A and B are shown apart, each in its own frame.
Chain A
């Protein structure tokens, strides 16, 4: 098989998402990546939480490489501009304005579509690349993940920038080059653009929740998102035993499979807080994440 061969039936892309933040997406994504590699499947783990990526704290690649993510931003040549207003009439986002007697571009509103440049008859507008973030990647392997390895790809949005989906798409493109048997997408919290960019086109959606009213509320939103996007989904209940929300009853009523339960356990919190892997450092870790891997594969096969 070559690196350029088409994805075959055995390849699977799993998105790990949640509505609420802090429910355990990273815990599940990193440990599931290790479980999959140990099962013999080469893994690409993509940290799509571009505002606060942290997968690499748990799985740190040796000698990572990095590449900037840039978008085309219009620039105005004032000497050629006739203030005709065609650019501002064309911009659907109000990102290009005429103030005083100057055309001004507002980068945070610009969606980088290039329409203003195309309608500028005097040729006063051109595009320059503007950096919005970075993609970093590298391999984790050896005894930790043997027999296979994990390529960790991290999307990082620059401070003050807003185009997280652009950076997430760039990270996923990088991971697609690896074409691993298993791709795990650690999505952003919430159900807005960043989360959508992280889960789009996944084969299976794993929703990590906690049994609190807030966790329950946001799980319902995440389920609605997953169904809207047509992705088969299942739930991981983290901190099972804490809180008052009956996630099990909800999932039963909705016909949603519960893929794994991770109990509310001090040891899990300790290992995670220390940057460790629960799969190795908790006596039940291998069973939890091995079970989750099997459940995810079953869900993917059912839907295939």
Chain B
């Protein structure tokens, strides 16, 4: 399964970025594999609006099947839902740990949108 983790850095040791739409990077890994891809989210991070929607579209374009992040606002949540991509809560972990925890079924699925962030 192709999984994207919002990350503060561009390595597997980076911490999960609490933000989804305005995350620094997305690290896309595959369960059962150590290979990963780094996607710079600069376009959405600096967007004046619609960052969550843009990031969800980025996930969809990369054919991601699950997202691990800290928090999903209403726009991001609904856009991911439209794309059929579930989100999981993985804050406080490194990207590597988050991927392992997701595989082990330890992460909670984000079943509703959190608070909106302006802009």
Contact = CB atoms under 8 A, between A and B. Distances in A.
Interface of A: 88, 93-95, 97-100, 102, 104, 106, 109
A292 B83 CA distance: 59
A104 B79 CA distance: 9
Contacts of B75: 106
A99 B83 contact: yes
Interface string B48-71: 011001101100110000000000
A104 B54 CA distance: 12
B114 interface: no
A97 B79 contact: yes
Nearest to B47: A94
30 contacts: A93-B49, A93-B50, A94-B47, A94-B49, A94-B50, A94-B53, A94-B54, A97-B53, A97-B54, A97-B56, A98-B57, A98-B60, A99-B56, A99-B57, A99-B60, A99-B79, A99-B82, A99-B83, A100-B60, A100-B82, A100-B83, A100-B84, A102-B82, A104-B79, A104-B82, A106-B50, A106-B53, A109-B49, A109-B50, A109-B53
A97 B57 CA distance: 7
A104 to B, nearest CB: 6
Nearest to B56: A99
A100 B81 CA distance: 9
Contacts of A97: 53-54, 56-57, 79
Contacts of A100: 60, 82-84
Nearest to B59: A99
A102 B83 CA distance: 8
A109 B61 CA distance: 20
The 6 closest A-B CB pairs, nearest first, are A99-B83, A100-B83, A94-B50, A99-B82, A97-B57, A109-B50
Given A94-B47, A94-B49, A104-B82, 13 more contacts: A93-B49, A94-B50, A94-B53, A97-B53, A98-B57, A99-B56, A99-B57, A99-B82, A100-B82, A100-B83, A104-B79, A106-B79, A109-B50
Contact of B50 (A95, A98, A99, A102): A95
**Which of A97, A106, A109 has its CB near the most chain B CB atoms (within 10 A)?**
A97
A276 B70 CA distance: 52
B66 to A, nearest CB: 14
A304 B83 CA distance: 58
Contacts of B57: 88, 97-99
Contacts of A95: 50
A96 B47 CA distance: 15
Contacts of B56: 97, 99
